[in-house]
Amino acid sequence: MLAPSWCVPDHRPPAASSLRDVLLHLAVVPPPALVDEASALLRDLRAPAPARGGGVGRLLGRSRTTPAGPAPLDLLDPDLVLLPVTPLGNLTPRDARRLAAAVTAALAPLPRPVVRTHGGVALEPIGDDRVQVRLVGDEAGLRTVVSATLGAIEQVGIFCDRRVFRPLLPLARVNEATTEADLEAALAALDGPEGRPWAVDHVALLQRPADARTQPSRVVERIPVGAP
């Protein structure tokens, strides 16, 4: 079943010439409002420090603001915030259709899990340079959706990596200016109130770009979870 909008971010269907063997992966795409809400918690972690003014300003009791330094974290473009399910490698259009049909059948009877953002992790596992927010709530239901997806893929003879999934959404990367205090502040911010509820209603089949670190994936097909 093809979704009303095919691609991110311009929502135009891929040209026929692009329907050859392509590098694909599966992920869950969060709603933009949820991403904006979670990312906002990591903005302005370092507030500009107030400093007393000199001269007339000092005599009048006015203060000035010391300019902020470099941003302590590099927020990800919202189109890069995905919940990875598994890479798939290069697939022909025929194999992609077989895979999508199998996953569609597997997800149709499942309820849609409702999750929220709350809490986070930084630099985990070792070598990961990201700050990520946790998904809480019906984690068992979310894992059931992922397990059913992976099982359907294996049934059609396509390899999948069951080690990829973790209930985390990446929000930012560290940079040369990031300090331990910045990471502590980021995790404290993510550990605040829970985010808005999100009913996970689809798994997306995506075309991986040449540079997945900086370029968004293209949605080939949105595979619904449960009945609309």
Kindly report the pTM of this predicted structure: 0.80
Give me the pLDDT at residue 69, please: 67
Query: How much is the average pLDDT of 10-19?
Result: 40
- Alpha carbons 125 and 109: distance in angstroms, whole number: 34
Give me the pLDDT at residue 47, please: 52
CB atoms within 10 A of CB 149: 25
- Each domain of the chain, given as residue ranges in start order, spans 23-42+72-224
N residues, the chain: 228
Query: What would the pLDDT profile of 38-64 be if each residue is shown by its tens digit?
Result: 999 998 776 544 544 544 434 445 445
Domain boundaries 23-42+72-224, corresponding CATH code = 3.90.1140.10
Give me the pLDDT at residue 16, please: 39
Closest C-alpha among 201, 184, 218 to residue 24 = 218
Lowest mean pLDDT across 2-16, 41-55, 78-92: 2-16
C-alpha distance across the termini of the chain, in Å: 12
Residue 143 dihedral angles phi and psi, to the nearest 5°: -65, -30
Query: What would the pLDDT profile of 178-226 be if each residue is shown by its tens digit?
Result: 999 999 999 999 999 999 999 999 999 999 988 888 999 999 999 999 9
